[in-house]
Structure 1
Amino acid sequence: MKKQKLTIIGLIIVVVAVIVGFAWVKTSKAQRYVQSTTPTLFFHGGGSSYHAEEHMVNAAKRAGVTNTVIRANVDPNGKVTLSGSMTKHSINPIVEVNYENNRQLDYSQHGRWAANVVKLLQKRYGIKQVKMVGHSLGNISIIYYELQNAQKKSMPKVVKQVDIAGHFAGLNFSQVPASIRQPAGLKLDSKTGKPNQMNATYQEMTKLRQVLPKNQVQVLNIYGDIGGQTDGTVPNVSSLSLKYLIASRAKSYREVKITGKQARHSKLHSNAKVDRALINFLWSK
């Protein structure tokens, strides 16, 4: 009987130790990151869906950044439906944005859709600011949200943004409209990042240099180079043209080059180096 009691006591001690250990690890992880109610919105690329965001989101969850992830589905008419559990007090909540029309090349529409998501979050949870992450075409949602809303005091402001594999100066595909096609012989000024040629869409984006509030947003521009100064889909010159659009107004602007096989355009959103870079930038104390 005595031996049995000792066994039970031993098991209780082990269980308590495990529980305390898990609690300590959770607390330790949380202490690494800001404890904020500001949501972070993830925007996927063209022809894709929220599934492309899941690797980065899950990396953030594993790191202890947050336990709150919801989804914002945007139908082709721009109507937003939220799914998942979130409150006004959720810490570092993440919103996976999903566009049903994932091949929309009207960039202004991307800005309106992003605003619809933000407005619904504002109405439901009272948010005052946001962080945003975009991959490929998803970057356009960030840029056009800023173009269309940066001067509106009623709209939540973007305080941090991560741009991954952005094609700001254009795509070098012959089948895309001229307004978003990358000009031949594109080069950037070594100091300012200003392109020597601009398509119509990039010219419109340059309005950011006037409308973006000074010293508000911190920007991390991540791009891949598998060799030949390209990620295999977007030339580095197009990704790096973000500097001219935003650096002179941003609170901070930093570029990170990812190399190797996992630096390919379609692999960057599932790259461990990208995960670490964006987690540190968005949430580390």
Structure 2
Amino acid sequence: MKKIKLVKILFLMTLVLGLVGCSKTPQSAKKPKEQHFARAYVVKATPTLYFHGALSNYHSEESLVKAAEKAGVTNSVIRADVNADGKVKLVGTIPQNAVNPIVMVNYKNNVQIDFYKAGRYATNVVKALQEKYGITKMNMVGHSLGNMSIMYYMLENDTNSNLPQLQKQVDIAGHFDGVDSPGLTADLTQPKGLKVVNGKPNKMNKAYKQMLQLRHTYPLHQVEVLNIIGNTQNNSDGVVKNVSSLSLGYLVQDRAKSYQVLTYTGHNAEHGRLTFNSQVERDIINFLWE
């Protein structure tokens, strides 16, 4: 028990500087500049689920969601609260005439480093939405640790054809091959000397090896994937090295319907600020709904 607590503390120390902005809107994001989005958007009942990162909650998703509302993309936003036992409570209602509804997923245990459990949390949210609204398709957006909810959801349900089909996946600042910080578990530690060529890492940590299954089970030619990376300096977003984020490619690009990488630079490309970055907001909106 003490060892588990120590690992969590180390993980918190690793992420705290980069993620402190996730639960608060940065000063520069409080008065966003006027956005110029594409005029034509799809009009569907397909919901988009947002998964926040560690040390955070649904508030870190609000800037992305408000940008979508401002652009006229959606007319319905609800929240899915998930307690530590994985029980889901849907807050709000998606009306029958909802256009591109958004679901802000909110984990009460916001430092869930058991990735399989995070995948089950995500599964429970999807099942709750399916049971109440009969959804057959969905999109998913993850930031930081939230990406592991998506990836392990796909691992857990790779053969379950009864669940809604994933259509589009957005991964923001994902640590797919670990975080470059000492003292973390084998699931979380980025391998030393990590290099990535065409998305394939030369070394793989424990979690990445588990996710290798997706190279054979990720839905074939079904999902469009957008990988968003921040580079503030030294090929890092300040918390996650770009090579770790880029390693997503080897897991999904050969089976995805499409796979693209967008890299952002400057102050607002920092790990915790990417979800408040107006350019990121615009590109996600256009990717999901243009």
Q: TM-score range by the shorter chain?
A: 0.7 to 0.9
Task: Write out per-residue CA displacement over residues 176-205 of structure 1, whole angstroms, 9 at most, x where no aligned residue.
Answer: 21222100000012x3x2111111110001
For residue 149 of structure 1, report the CA deviation from its aligned partner. Answer: 1.1
**Aligned-partner residue type, residue 236 of structure 2:** T
Determine whether 1:257 maps to 2:227: no
SS of alignment partner, residue 59 of structure 1: helix
Q: Per-residue CA shift, 1:41-70, capped at 9, x if unaligned?
A: 000001100000000000000000012000
Q: 1:270 matched to which residue of 2?
A: 276
C-alpha contact 2:158 2:217 (8 A) present in aligned 1: yes
TM, length-normalised to structure 1? 0.87
User: Which consecutive residues of structure 2, in runs of 5 or more, have no partner in the other structure?
Assistant: 1-36
Q: Which residue of 1 aligns with 2:19?
A: none
Q: Aligned partners of 2:51 and 2:96: how far apart in 1?
A: 22
Distance (whole Å) between structure 2 residues aligned to residue 30 and residue 83 of structure 1: 30
Matched residue, 1:140 = 148
- 1:198 and 2:198 are equivalent in the alignment: no
Structure 2 contact 38–286 (Cα < 8 Å) conserved: no
Higher relative contact order (CA 8 A, sep 6+): 2
* TM-score when normalising by structure 2: 0.86
How many residue pairs align between the two structures? 254
Are 1:40 and 2:48 counterparts?
A: yes
For residue 180 of structure 1, give the secondary structure of its aligned residue in structure 2.
coil
What is the distance in 1 between the residues matched to 2:38 and 2:214?
Answer: 35
Largest Rg, 1 or 2: 1
Who is 1:121 aligned against? 129
What SS does structure 2 have at the residue aligned with 1:230? coil
Q: Does 1:151 align with 2:159?
A: yes
The amino acid across from 1:90 in the alignment is A
Q: 2:68 aligns with which of 55, 60, 63?
A: 60
Amino acid at match of 1:81: K
Percent sequence identity over matched residues? 53
What pairs up with 1:5-84 in 2 under 5 angstroms? 32-84=40-92
Structure 2: how far apart are the matches of 1:44 and 1:145?
15
In 1, Cα distance between equivalents of 2:126 and 2:107: 14
Q: What is the RMSD of the two structures over their aligned residues, measured on CA atoms?
A: 1.2
Over residues 64-92 of structure 1, what are the superposed CA-to-partner deviations in whole Å (9 max), with x where a residue is unaligned?
00120000000000000011121344110
Alpha-carbon distance, 1:216 to partner:
0.5
Consecutive aligned runs of 4 or more in structure 1 exceeding 6 Å deviation: none
- Distance in 2 (CA, whole Å) between partners of 1:30 and 1:45 is 28
User: 1:147 is matched by which residue type in structure 2?
Assistant: L
Shift of 1:173: 1.9
Task: Give the SS at the match of 1:81.
Answer: strand
Q: 1:88 to 1:121 in 2, by over 3 A?
A: farther
